[in-house]
Amino acid sequence: MTEFGSTLTRHAASLRGYRGRQNIMAAIVRRFRKPIVASALVLGDVGAAIVAISLSRALTAATGLEPPNAKHLPIALLILTLFCFRLYTGNGPGPFERFRMRGLGVLTFVAIDFVNGLAADALGPFLVAGAGTALLQWILLTIFGHYVEAVIRTLLIRLDLWGAPTALVGRGDNSRKLAHLLLSEPELGLTPIGFIENASDEVSPQAPFPLPALGASAEPDRVDTQLEFVIFNSADEFVAVTSNPQRWMSTCGHLVVRDGNDTSSLHSRSRLLGGTIGFEIRNDLRKRRDVLFKRLIDILLAVPIAVFVAPIIIILALAIKLVDSGPAFYVQKRVGANAAPLRMFKLRTMYADAEQRLNGHLSQDPQARAEWQRFFKLSHDPRVLPIIGDLMRRTSLDELPQLWNVILGEMSLVGPRPFPAYHMGCFDEEFQALRVSVPPGITGMWQVSSRSNGDLEVQKTQDLFYIKNWSLWLDM
């Protein structure tokens, strides 16, 4: 027994030592989180830049238009430019905004490089080739850097390094919703580690708060000083705490949030109005010039893409005919812009008697019927043609004929996906009116984000986000 007791003692001591080492390692990682994140992002951008610039020069050289004696700026200047656009902070913003910042940062670098080339070489032979190389470099640097960053961000999230340690002031309903949001979307760059108690908290006993208490706003010594961000639910709450600043407030960034989809916008800007602050919110997809610009982009892209994919469409049409008799193409009626009927062209992925097959399957399988009523899709759909139908649906190749709808001006390349009338009727009238106020698209946010896993609520949320935040960057 004595030996057994001593073994337990040694084991307990070892376990305490292990936990102590874990705490030490966690403290070290937290202490050096920012330089670790910045270094990883910089290394990723250096690698992406080497590949993108080398490829752009190789493609330019293949056309015989390599700018003679052009002096290219070092990649270090690109990193400095992206640093100035705040891409190495490790505390956000979200992927959409980061893509815009990256695009502008790369554009700045490419413009400086182009002007430098003009100064180093004769204007005539350099201008056309230099402009082509600059455009190609901007596209490749932006795309390569975006996807390399996505891979690095995913790795850093798994290592608990990406998000800045964040506290939420109060534990009311708004804080609870925000905590769930930040925990479910770590790519936003703010990792909630707890809440700071507030005297005005109204707590619902039925819904426990998902984070531990870090202390109280009136007790600065109890609050973790390693916080990088503190989030307030209202301006009044922010003023109440900052009017008597605490020690933990001095090194933190501060966010004041307002719950509600009616004001969510990537384009909101703060404006100082005397002694108060206002937020300017734009909706660019309602402006005529932006609608015309979007239409111009659709034409410039849809026509060459349609020519390029025409052989693919012909091959797929022949494969459909081999599997099932009937037309390879069909027209599906959807709700288009301004609620006008839309004849949407598609490659056929289902049997000719698809509706009969569906009705029979739903009447025999209650689980499938419930899935259909929630998603208007089935994970195992008896209507789909074997092999070729499943391939086209998984890759969305059946949507390629809709390029003709885009050319005709009935659709856009990117926009809320046009729904059938029975699907659209499941939403409230206000959302239906908003959804048909913009051009429908071949692809949209919830299609590329959630696919068949997005129910009606997800579809509404993501379509609202797109409509209220439209920009060329978001389409890209």
Span 130-144, pLDDT tens digits: 677 788 889 999 999
Query: Is the four-CA dihedral 317, 321, 324, 326 of positive or negative sign?
Result: positive
pTM: 0.70
What's the pLDDT at 167?
82
For residue 270, the cross-strand partners are 279
Span 26-81, pLDDT tens digits: 566 667 888 999 999 999 999 999 998 888 878 877 776 655 444 556 888 899 99
Distance of alpha carbon 44 from alpha carbon 454, whole angstroms: 32
DSSP class of 337: G
The sign of the torsion formed by the CA atoms of 456, 461, 467, 472 equals negative
Does CATH place domain 164-259 in 1.20.1740? no
Cα separation values, 147 from 47, 141, 151, 377, Å: 12, 10, 6, 30
Residue type, 77: L
**Number of H helices and number of E strands within the chain?**
17, 11
Helices marked H in 85-166: 95-120, 123-158
Work out the angle between the directed axes of helices 75-84 and 33-62 (0-180°, nearest 10): 130
Domain boundaries for CATH 3.40.50 within the chain: 164-259
What's the confidence (pLDDT) of residue 22?
Answer: 46
Residue 195's nearest CA partner among 168, 219, 221, 217 is 168
pLDDT attached to residue 17:
44
Question: What was the pLDDT predicted at 275?
Answer: 61
Examine residue 93 and say whether the peptide bond preceding it is cis (omega within 30 degrees of 0): yes
Q: How far is it, in rounded angstroms, from Cα 41 to Cα 404?
A: 41
Q: Which residues of the chain have pLDDT under 70?
A: 1-30, 64-73, 117-130, 199-207, 215-225, 234-286, 450-454
Q: How far apart are CA 154 and CA 232, in angstroms?
A: 27
